[in-house]
């Protein structure tokens, strides 16, 4: 079989894998995006005592391979099987998809938190004070001033993190999930045709390219909405 | 519990330590090769020659867009295939040989490190103060001397934080080679798990060891940055 | 060397950036111990000319010779480029923005050229650098980094760096323009002492007092050409061209 025949025969499998990659990435990024603002605020404002466990968690995630984190959760949960069964959690941990998702959520939440914290720290103190001077309450200030700025600052870095997450999701194939790489390895083990890896590479590159385009468009929107004029003219006002 | 990690017949301490050694060797072997690739690619991306520039940019875009583990598989399977084809062509009767996972790991990790470090280095080159380079020319320094005495020390300073991050990422990425059957820390942990049926304990220990290596790297890098920033931060 | 020896000679220098001709045939010679001030409006090509003299810009055409090392430029290409580094090491240059190497201390900045261009042993270079820094009044600051020095101090280190190469002539491109007014004096004082010592200097400057009191010759650039030149006395008391009259009346 030449490589064209292989792709004609196996494209539904690859498509299936692509959807799995997208699903894993999207879900983990989404859950993390919901949690991370709260953690980022804690990282930016809370007392050192409150921050300590959070810093430990972030340092651990950043200091260890995501593959090790995945194995710790997927295989490691087996060690606590009786307890987990008792609590009715075993069916969750038995499923590799759940374990992969949990790992990825824990992982990207740590990174997103740090990125967002950087954004929050970058917000101009004067603007926050202006909000206070107008009598805005804390929630209003966060909602109208801090987070809009923080996201604008953090946007490019968040985009990078999502791409990293998408690439890291390929590790799910190691715990028998059929994402792009999982399907690719499966097809390779049947055909021994190396070209299937190149098709996988193209798929990953396409996803990255499309995502980058979307993210840039969103960035333009975001900046237009929050800062209608560029920095220079804003300064002159 | 401690017996599990003792060194000797019953404990897994020595096996895991062997794994750590392989992991460290892998990372240390990758660093110079990856940096070398980084410089080459950065020079290509900054060159005046259009095709060369396209190759430089193409390489970084490609490598940064691919999952590291895919790169590893491509190198491991692809290079093995290539190697055997060449050997066959050389000598028809030759036995197919296995491409060493260690070498495949070093090549794949270095290719990735090269792409990311090329970006860091390019940024550092762009941050160079043209005036200081001119001052070198004005005293009659040759381009060679200017590179080694003025550009490189400053590039080093600008690039160090970025390269430090990449080093830690690469250190963590070494865990991927366990998938192609290299007996690194990750793999040895897996072996221990199979015997002891204590996956959580052992994977936690593996995590802690990686964590320790990362923290240690961070401390050393902070010292190096301090050193490189002599005369910059102080006012 | 006698007073009439020509140290540096630039002949019919043309320079274009793209289609814009910035220098339109400039000839200038600097004799031993001469201090030449170059004046001119912004954009008249003063810096470009100075940078051409040591080939930081390659002229489009012309000839430059420094103490017998001659470089002919035809169509923007030096005919004998081998001489360029030799010329550079014979000409010192002091920049408007100092351009000290930020990763090296004051004394290391001064030692760098002698060690790596002239291949002088380190300990000799160090002794020399120390005495030069003392000469510009910075002996007590010699182990500081540029970021720890004021602008005036940085510029004095830059002058010491140029002197360390024992140049036949020193080029200055507006050495005091980037300085706070209160720091200008200390740099001018050093330059004045160099002039008194008999150094050959070519100085692009907006400091009229320096041009009048220190230099032996004043050259006025206008639109890429030398519009007028002469002794400070002739130039300031009896300006001939209308453009130069206008120029000094504005100050
Ligand atoms: N690298 C360059 N590329 C294009 N044009 C340039 C370049 N350098 C200088 N020019 C142009 O050449 C002209 C002369 O510049 P030059 O810097 O020599 O003027 P100057 O007399 O030193 O002025 P100033 O007093 O402002 O320093 C200017 O119009 C400038 O825009
Ligand atoms: Mg100028």
Residue among A184, A185, A194 minimizing CB distance to B78: A194
Calculate how far, in angstroms, residue C230's C-alpha sits from the geometric centre of ligand 1: 24
Q: Helix %, strand %, coil % for chain A, to 5?
A: 85, 0, 15
Residue C156 to residue C183: CA distance in whole angstroms: 11
Q: Which positions ≥6 away from A202 have C-beta within 8 Å? A: none
Q: What is the pLDDT of residue A224?
A: 67
Q: Identify the bridge partners of residue C9 per DSSP, sorted by sequence position.
A: C29, C65
Mean pLDDT, chain C, as a whole number?
91
pLDDT bracket for residue A225 (50, 70, 90): low
Residue A131 to residue A147: CA distance in whole angstroms: 13
Nearest CA to ligand 1 atom 9: C48
Residue A153 to residue C120: CA distance in whole angstroms: 52
Q: What is the pLDDT of residue B161?
A: 92
Q: By residue range, what is the domain housing residue C202?
A: 3-249
Please answer whether residues C137 and C169 qualify as being in contact, where contact means their C-beta atoms are separated by less than 8 angstroms: no
Q: What is the pLDDT of residue B10?
A: 67
Number of domains observed in the structure of chain C: 1
Q: What is the pLDDT of residue A6?
A: 84
Interface contact B215-A59, CB threshold 8 A: yes
Q: Identify the bridge partners of residue C14 per DSSP, sorted by sequence position.
A: C24, C61
pLDDT bracket for residue A133 (50, 70, 90): confident
- Does the pLDDT at position A237 exceed 60? no
- Does the pLDDT at position C145 exceed 60? yes
Please compute the mean of the pLDDT values over residues A116-129 and round it to a whole number: 88
Over residues A53-81, the pLDDT tens digits come to 999 999 999 999 999 999 999 999 989 88
CA distances C248 to C156, C238, C240, C242, Å, are 28, 11, 12, 10
Calculate how far, in angstroms, residue A119's C-alpha sits from the geometric centre of ligand 2: 41
Residue B110 structure tokens: 């270095």
Interface contact B231-C113, CB threshold 8 A: no
Over residues B157-199, the pLDDT tens digits come to 899 999 999 999 999 999 999 888 777 888 888 888 888 888 9
Please compute the mean of the pLDDT values over residues A191-217 and round it to a whole number: 92
Residue B165 Cα, gap to closest chain A Cα (Å)? 11
Residue among B138, B141, B235 minimizing CB distance to C147: B235
Calculate how far, in angstroms, residue C213's C-alpha sits from the geometric centre of ligand 2: 22
**ipTM for the complex?**
0.87
CA angle C101, B125, C145 (to 5 degrees): 20
Interface contact B157-C103, CB threshold 8 A: yes
Q: Which residue has the higher pLDDT, A39 or C76?
A: A39
Residue with tokens 């320094």: B141
Residue with tokens 């959580």: B200
Q: Which positions ≥6 away from A211 have C-beta within 8 Å? A: A159, A162, A163, A166
- Which chain B residues are Cβ-neighbours of A205 within 8 angstroms? 62, 65-66
What are the DSSP calls for A164-228, one per residue? HHHHHGGGGGGGT--SHHHHHHHHHHHH--THHHHHHHHHHHHHHHHHHHHHHHHHHHHHHHH-S
Over residues C223-236, the pLDDT tens digits come to 999 999 999 999 99
Over residues C52-82, the pLDDT tens digits come to 998 989 999 999 999 888 889 988 888 888 8
C43 lines ligand 1 (CB under 6 A): yes
Residue B212 to residue A147: CA distance in whole angstroms: 34
The count of CB pairs under 8 A between chains A and B is: 110
Q: What is the pLDDT of residue A228?
A: 44
- Does the pLDDT at position A231 exceed 70? no
Interface contact A75-B199, CB threshold 8 A: yes
Over residues B22-71, the pLDDT tens digits come to 999 999 999 999 999 999 999 999 999 999 999 999 999 999 899 999 99
Lowest mean pLDDT across B186-200, B214-228, C132-146: B186-200
Q: What is the pLDDT of residue A172?
A: 95
CA distances A9 to A13, A179, A187, Å, are 9, 18, 10
Q: What is the pLDDT of residue A213?
A: 93
C39 lines ligand 1 (CB under 6 A): no
Q: Which domains does chain A have, with CATH numbers?
A: 3-236 (1.10.3720.10)
Q: What is the pLDDT of residue A229?
A: 44
Interface contact B138-C54, CB threshold 8 A: yes
| Domain B23-184: which CATH number of 3.40.50.300, 3.40.50.10190, 1.10.3720.10, 3.40.225.10 | 1.10.3720.10
Q: Which is the closest atom of ligand 1 to the Cα of C174?
A: 27
Q: What is the pLDDT of residue C4?
A: 61
CATH number of domain containing C106: 3.40.50.300
pLDDT bracket for residue C251 (50, 70, 90): confident
Residue among B141, B142, B232 minimizing CB distance to C102: B232
CA distances C209 to C28, C182, C188, C192, Å, are 22, 16, 10, 11
Mean pLDDT, chain B, as a whole number?
88
Residue C20 to residue C23: CA distance in whole angstroms: 9
- Does the pLDDT at position C163 exceed 90? yes
C44 lines ligand 1 (CB under 6 A): yes
Report the chain B residue with the minimal C-alpha distance to residue C101. B132
CA distances B53 to A16, B45, B47, C43, C90, Å, are 36, 4, 6, 35, 37
Please answer whether residues C165 and C196 qualify as being in contact, where contact means their C-beta atoms are separated by less than 8 angstroms: no
Q: Calculate what percentage of chain A has a pLDDT beyond 90.
A: 62
User: B touches A (3+ CB pairs < 8 Å)?
Assistant: yes
Point out the ligand nearest to the CA of residue C173.
2
Residue A69 Cα, gap to closest chain B Cα (Å)? 7
Q: For residues B26-63, b (16+ Cβ closer than 10 Å) or e, as one string? A: bbebbbebbbebbeebbebbeeeeeeeeeebeebbeeb
Residue C210 to residue C185: CA distance in whole angstroms: 11
Mean pLDDT, chain A, as a whole number?
89
- Does the pLDDT at position A127 exceed 50? yes
Question: Does A189 contact B at CB distance below 8 Å?
Answer: no
* Residue C33, Ramachandran bin (φ over 0: left; ψ between -120 and 50: alpha; else beta): left
What are the DSSP calls for C206-222, one per residue? S-HHHHHHT-SEEEEEE
Q: Chains with ≥3 Cβ pairs under 8 A against C?
A: B
């Amino acid at each position: 079989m030449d490589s064209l025949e292989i792709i004609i025969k196996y494209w539904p499998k690859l498509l299936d894998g692509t959807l799995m990659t997208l699903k894993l990435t999207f879900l983990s990024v989404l859950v993390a995006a919901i949690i991370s603002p709260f953690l980022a605020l804690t990282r930016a404002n809370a007392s050192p005592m409150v921050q300590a466990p959070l810093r430990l968690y972030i340092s651990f995630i950043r200091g260890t391979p995501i593959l090790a984190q995945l194995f710790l959760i997927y295989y490691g949960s087996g060690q606590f099987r009786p307890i987990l069964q008792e609590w009715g959690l075993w069916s969750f941990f038995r499923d590799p998809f759940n374990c992969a998702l949990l790992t990825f959520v824990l992982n990207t939440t740590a990174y997103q938190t740090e990125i967002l914290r950087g954004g929050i720290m970058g917000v101009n103190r004067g603007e926050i004070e202006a909000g206070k001077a107008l009598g805005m309450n804390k929630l209003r200030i966060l909602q109208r001033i801090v987070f809009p700025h923080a996201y604008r600052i953090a946007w490019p870095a968040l985009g990078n993190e999502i791409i990293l997450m998408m690439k890291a999701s390929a590790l799910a194939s190691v715990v028998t999930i059929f994402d792009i790489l999982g399907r690719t390895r499966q097809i390779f083990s049947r055909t021994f045709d190396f070209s299937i890896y190149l098709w996988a590479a193209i798929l990953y590159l396409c996803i990255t390219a499309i995502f980058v385009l979307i993210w840039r468009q969103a960035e333009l929107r975001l900046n237009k909405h929050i800062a209608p004029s560029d920095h220079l003219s804003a300064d002159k006002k | 519990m401690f017996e599990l990690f003792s060194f000797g017949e019953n404990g897994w301490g020595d096996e895991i330590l062997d794994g750590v050694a392989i992991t460290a060797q892998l990372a240390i072997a990758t660093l110079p090769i990856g940096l070398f690739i980084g410089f080459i690619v950065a020079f290509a991306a900054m060159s005046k020659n259009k095709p060369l520039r396209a190759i430089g940019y193409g390489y970084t875009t490609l490598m940064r867009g691919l999952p590291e583990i895919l790169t590893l598989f491509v190198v491991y399977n692809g290079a093995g295939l290539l190697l055997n084809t060449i050997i066959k062509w050389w000598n028809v009767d030759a036995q197919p040989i296995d491409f060493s996972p260690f070498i495949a790991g070093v090549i794949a990790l270095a290719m990735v490190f090269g792409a990311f470090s090329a970006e860091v280095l390019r940024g550092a080159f762009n941050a160079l103060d043209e005036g200081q380079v001119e001052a070198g020319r004005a005293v009659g320094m040759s381009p060679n001397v200017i590179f080694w005495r003025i550009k490189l020390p400053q590039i080093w300073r600008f690039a160090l934080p970025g390269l430090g991050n990449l080093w830690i990422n690469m250190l963590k990425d070494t865990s991927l080679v366990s998938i192609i059957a290299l007996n690194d820390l990750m793999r040895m942990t897996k072996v221990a798990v199979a015997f002891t049926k204590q996956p959580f304990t052992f994977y936690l220990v593996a995590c802690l060891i990686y964590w320790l290596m990362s923290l240690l790297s961070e401390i050393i890098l902070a010292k190096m940055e301090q050193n490189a920033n002599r005369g910059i931060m102080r006012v | 060397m006698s007073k009439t020896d020509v140290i540096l000679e630039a002949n019919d220098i043309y320079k274009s950036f793209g289609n814009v001709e910035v220098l339109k045939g400039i000839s200038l010679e600097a004799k031993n111990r001469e201090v030449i001030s170059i004046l001119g409006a912004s954009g008249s090509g003063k810096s470009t000319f100075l940078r051409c003299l040591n080939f930081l810009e390659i002229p489009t055409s012309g000839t430059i010779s420094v103490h017998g090392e001659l470089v002919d430029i035809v169509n923007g290409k030096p005919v004998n480029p081998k001489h360029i580094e030799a010329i550079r090491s014979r000409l010192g240059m002091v920049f408007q923005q100092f351009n000290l190497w930020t990763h090296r201390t004051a004394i290391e900045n001064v030692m760098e050229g002698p060690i790596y261009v002239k291949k002088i042993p380190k300990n000799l270079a160090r002794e020399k650098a120390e005495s030069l820094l003392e000469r510009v009044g910075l002996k007590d600051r010699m182990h500081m980094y540029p970021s720890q020095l004021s602008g005036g101090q940085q510029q004095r280190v830059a002058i010491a760096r140029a002197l360390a190469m024992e140049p036949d002539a020193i080029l200055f491109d507006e050495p005091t323009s980037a300085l706070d007014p209160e720091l200008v004096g200390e740099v001018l004082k050093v330059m004045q002492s160099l002039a008194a010592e008999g150094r050959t200097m070519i100085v692009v400057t907006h400091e009229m007092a320096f041009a009048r009191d220190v230099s032996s010759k004043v050259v006025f650039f206008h639109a890429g050409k030398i519009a007028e030149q002469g002794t400070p006395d002739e130039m300031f008391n009896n300006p001939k061209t209308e453009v130069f009259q206008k120029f000094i009346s504005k100050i």
